[in-house]
């Protein structure tokens, strides 16, 4: 039979929801340690106290970082190659014009000198113009209006203009400039300015409010603190099996309380109570708590150990 935790109605084993209040019924399984039936969402076995909680580690998929540096490098290289090609095409044009201008000037000079020599009969055959040395492989740019020199017969010799000193070809201003990557300073960045540890004047220091749990004995108004450090708090009387954390042997009518009566389990900031098979039972707000079931305690819940409401505690959170 499955007992409904809401209305305590007994349902058949194959029931999924309560026949009386239609509350979904908890499913049960066997404890891997002692084989006792426990709920599937239980953290500890109510019979032997075995921990049923399995720790599961979170694993985060490593997201590969997108590397774009290679794309940026390839883009910068393509920009460099394009800039160099544009610069070369611009540089070759003045050189070709200079070569054609020098060739035209030299041809005009030779033609004028030969005509002058043939027109004058007194000029000997030895006064023919000397062969002109070929221009250098790379001639400097020639001005748009070059000054024509006199023929060799009139000036005595054919004088060629002295070439200006060679200058390195500069890239025109219109060529795109390749930007260099910014320089990264090797000096470490200064550490951030620490905030003052002392609170400012006029502001009170922040205090963390810790919630405390306790049991208030109704008959004697005795308050018992519950520790968050204990995962299981045993309620009962001294025995050789499981020593109680909350000993009720000193309270009136404690003879109705079993030696191992009930357990309070601490999960984070939540408290659960379970009956450990006591003789006279455990009551929550005057409702019997069946063994194997657990009840989440809320502030103000009334916990009765045994029948007759003789040993009663009030669960408090403050």
Which H or E run includes 96?
Answer: helix 69-119
Pairing of the two strands 37-39 and 28-30: antiparallel
Give the predicted TM-score (pTM) of the model.
0.36
Q: Which CA distances in Å does 173 have to 53, 169, 182, 248?
A: 75, 12, 22, 97
What does each of the 318 residues of the chain score in pLDDT, given as a tens digit?
678 878 888 888 778 788 888 888 777 777 888 877 777 777 778 778 778 775 333 333 443 444 444 445 444 566 667 767 766 665 544 444 444 444 444 444 444 444 444 444 443 344 455 556 555 555 555 544 444 444 444 444 455 666 666 655 655 555 555 556 556 555 666 666 655 555 555 555 565 667 889 999 999 999 999 988 899 999 999 988 889 999 999 899 999 999 999 999 999 889 999 999 999 999 999 999 998 899 999 999 999 999 888 999 999 988
d(CA 311, CA 250): 11
Burial class from Cβ neighbours inside 10 Å (0-12, 13-18, 19+) for residue 164 reads exposed
Q: Beta strands 287-289 and 270-275: pairing type? A: unpaired
Measured CA distances, 54 to 44, 57, 101, 232, 316 (Å): 11, 10, 93, 17, 30
Contact 151, 63 (CB under 8 A): no
Residue 25 contacts residue 17 (beta carbons within 8 Å): yes
- Name all domains of the chain by residue range, CATH numbers in brackets: 210-317 (2.60.200.20)
């Amino acid at each position: 039979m499955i007992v409904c935790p809401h209305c305590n109605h007994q349902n058949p084993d194959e029931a999924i929801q309560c026949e009386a209040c239609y509350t979904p019924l908890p499913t049960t399984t066997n404890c891997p340690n002692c084989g006792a039936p426990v709920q599937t969402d239980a953290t500890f076995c109510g019979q032997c106290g075995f921990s049923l909680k399995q720790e599961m580690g979170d694993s985060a998929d490593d997201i590969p970082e997108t590397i774009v540096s290679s794309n940026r490098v390839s883009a910068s290289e393509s920009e460099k190659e394009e800039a160099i090609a544009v610069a070369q095409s611009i540089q070759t044009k003045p050189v070709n014009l200079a070569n054609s201008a020098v060739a035209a000037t030299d041809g005009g000079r030779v033609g004028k000198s030969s005509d002058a020599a043939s027109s004058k009969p007194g000029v000997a055959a030895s006064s023919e113009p000397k062969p002109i040395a070929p221009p250098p492989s790379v001639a400097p740019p020639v001005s748009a209006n070059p000054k024509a020199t006199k023929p060799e017969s009139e000036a005595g010799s054919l004088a060629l203009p002295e070439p200006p000193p060679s200058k390195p070809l500069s890239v025109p201003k219109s060529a795109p400039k390749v930007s260099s990557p910014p320089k990264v300073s090797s000096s470490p960045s200064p550490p951030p300015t620490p905030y003052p540890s002392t609170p400012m004047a006029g502001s009170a220091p922040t205090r963390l409010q810790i919630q405390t749990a306790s049991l208030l004995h109704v008959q004697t108004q005795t308050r018992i603190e519950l520790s968050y450090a204990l995962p299981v708090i045993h309620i009962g009387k001294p025995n050789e099996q499981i020593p109680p954390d909350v000993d009720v042997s000193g309270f009136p009518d404690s003879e109705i309380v079993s030696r191992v009566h009930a357990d309070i389990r601490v999960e984070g900031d939540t408290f659960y109570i379970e009956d450990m098979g006591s003789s006279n039972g455990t009551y929550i707000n005057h409702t019997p708590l069946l063994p194997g079931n657990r009840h989440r305690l809320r502030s103000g819940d009334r916990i009765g150990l045994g029948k007759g409401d003789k040993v009663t505690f009030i669960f408090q959170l403050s």
